[in-house]
Structure 1
Amino acid sequence: MFNNLKLGVKLNLLLAAILLLLMITIGATLSIVIQGYAEEVVTEKALLLIETMNSVRNYTSTQVNPELASRLETEELFLPQTVPAYSSREVFEYLRNSDRYRNFFYKEATLNPTNLRDKADSFEAEIINSFRNDSQQQQQGFRNIPGGEIFYIARPLSVTKESCLRCHGSPEEAPASLLATYGTDNGFGWKLNEIVGAQVISVPASQVLEDARRLRLLVVGKILIFLVLAVVLLNVFLKFVITNPINEMSHLSKKLSMGDLDVEFEQKSNDEIGILAASLNRLKASLKIAMEMLDSK
């Protein structure tokens, strides 16, 4: 069936197959590249915020806590400002007051926290237990929540200083203000070097990923338009440079075969089509000479 098609149709089928292959290849490549770029963007946002929170923790631990530690025994209520986890969480909540960061979340999720707002949910508890079971220092990935898709980064939190056990060792050794504020049921029994929680930061990824998908469609669409235009121009070129001259020579060859020796194959170029026209003209001249020789006998 393919052999019965005209040359123009065959060429267009070939171009269509090439175009389809190019679009599949370009689409797949763009999908990988743009998806990778989108993930890099949200990862950079998350890393910047988590390092900022670590700076707040260090500031609280090295400058705020030493100034207020002595008051923990004399105050009626506990001073949470001495706790790095509290300070970082409060700073982040101020950040979330901005519309730009309203859907960003930060939590120092703990299995057995003093403040129950830091209690790990099932997803966070799974992360903490995975940190306990192996030596990895970071987990990251995407997860779906009712508000859309988010990207999270989690790092283990462990008891690295003996001073932490003052508030989290046993209730008998804890400051009176801590017991007065939070009671004796939660946040005790921690051990030195034990992983007790995870520092989790979540940034919205839905918009970034959607922008990446739109960009991919836009780029693919523009490339498709360019390729279709190239196919149209190529078809015009083939029509005037190859198809039309061949059709004309085919028509003249038919007339020549029927005895019309006045036909002239027009040679407009020196390419393969021009060489074919010159050959047909020589063939016509030879045929004319042969016919004249036959008539003279």
Structure 2
Amino acid sequence: MFQNLKLGVKLNLILLSVFLIIVLINGLLLSNVLQKNAEQEVKDKALVLIETMTSVREYTSKQVNQGTIQKLSPELEIDGQFIKTSVPGYSAREVFTNLQKRDQYSDFFYKEATLNPTYIRDKADRFETEIVERFRSQPDLQEQVGFRKISAGDLFYIARPLQIKSESCLVCHSTPDRAPASQIKTYGDTGGFGWELNEIVGAQMISVPASKVFAEARRLQLIVIGILAAGFIVAAVILNLFLKFSIITPLTKMSKWSRDVSTGASDTDFEHKPNDEIGVLAASVNRLKVSLEMAMNMLKQNPENP
């Protein structure tokens, strides 16, 4: 069946097959590359968020906790109420909550997963505990990135160690008797104590639904396929024009000329100026025409006797 098709149809079928093979190779070879690129884009945005939260924690610890609030209320309380804004983790969570109201950060989640937290909401689950323990056992490890499965779907996460670097943190986290009474009243005396300076007590974790990463990878893949498709269309148009004007049209004219010659209706040579394969063929059929004319003349001059 393929042999009976016209040259233009054959060419387009071959081009289409090549395009499909390229798309398949793109799917096999570029999918991982594009996903890694998408992960890096999400990771870069998550790193900016973690750096922002770290800056908020440092500001709260050095400027708020050790500065203004300590001068106004050394017991970290006002009217018997614990001053939550003196807690770096609280300030970071509040700032992040405001960031989540922006569309570009609405899918991101922030948690200070802690082994022994003051507030039960910060308690590390089993997966997060493994991450924290890895940070504790490998002090040089400064970052962990990967995927985790939860009931709602996979999450892409980035984690950094949460280390006690300021003495001011130990006011609330060393022993219950040193903690402000308002803190004990608000959070109790069972969690968040026994911390030590330079100890890794948790991990700052930014997570985002994995579907966002995969969607970004698919978007990049569609862009690549779109570029390939556009290139394929341009190449197909150029090749079809070349095929039409350089091969099909000359062959069609040669076929018509040959029919005319076979009926004796043509006394001209076939003209094809380009010195390509079609030109060589044109020269050959012209010589064939001359040979046929010579043979016919010889027959006319020496007819056979019946």
| 37-46 vs 119-128, greater mean Cα deviation | 37-46
In 2, distance between residues paired with 1:197 and 1:208? 26
Aligned counterpart, 2:75: 72
Is the Cα contact below 8 Å between 1:255 and 1:263 reproduced in 2?
no
- Report percent identity of matched pairs: 52
- Report matched runs for 1:151-190 at 5 Å: 151-190=156-195
In structure 2, the partner of 1:238 is 243
**Partners in 2 of 1:38 and 1:106 — Cα distance?**
20
Question: What is the alpha-carbon distance in structure 1 between the residues aligned to residue 293 and residue 30 of structure 2?
Answer: 62
Change (3 A) 1:216 1:113: same
Shift of 1:150: 4.7
Distance 1:192 1:215 in 2: 45
Question: In the superposition, relative to structure 1, how do residues 18 and 96 fare at CA in structure 2: closer, same or farther (>3 Å)?
Answer: closer
SS at match of 1:289: helix
Equivalent residue, structure 1, for 2:270: 266
Structure 1: distance between partners of 2:143 and 2:226: 39
Tell me by how many angstroms 1:175 deviates: 4.1
Query: For the structure 1 residues 106 and 251, does the alpha-carbon distance in structure 2 shift closer, same or farther, using more than 3 Å as the test?
Result: same
Equivalent residue in structure 2 for 1:133, among 127, 134, 137: 137
How many Å separate the matches in 2 of 1:235 and 1:191? 76
Instruction: Give the C-alpha shift of residue 85 in structure 1.
Output: 1.6
Q: Tell me the distance in 2 between the aligned counterparts of 1:214 and 1:89.
A: 31
- Is 1:213 paired with 2:218? yes
Name 1:111's counterpart in structure 2.
115
Q: Provide structure 2 residue ranges, at least 5 long, that are not aligned to the other structure.
A: none
2:250 and 2:100 mapped to 1: Cα distance?
Answer: 72
Give the alignment's TM-score, normalised by structure 2: 0.75
Aligned-residue offset at 1:218:
5.7
Q: 1 CA distance for matches of 2:267 and 2:243?
A: 24
Deviation at 1:156, TM superposition (A): 0.7
Matching of residues 1-297 of structure 1 within 5 Å: 4-5=3-4, 8=7, 10-25=10-25, 31=31, 35-67=35-67, 68-69=69-70, 71-72=74-75, 76-97=80-101, 101-134=105-138, 135-143=140-148, 150-203=155-208, 206-207=211-212, 209-210=214-215, 213-214=218-219, 216-217=221-222, 220-221=225-226, 223-224=228-229, 227-228=232-233, 230-232=235-237, 234-246=239-251, 249=254, 264-272=268-276, 273-293=278-298, 296=301
CA displacement at 1:220 relative to structure 2: 2.7
Number of equivalences: 295
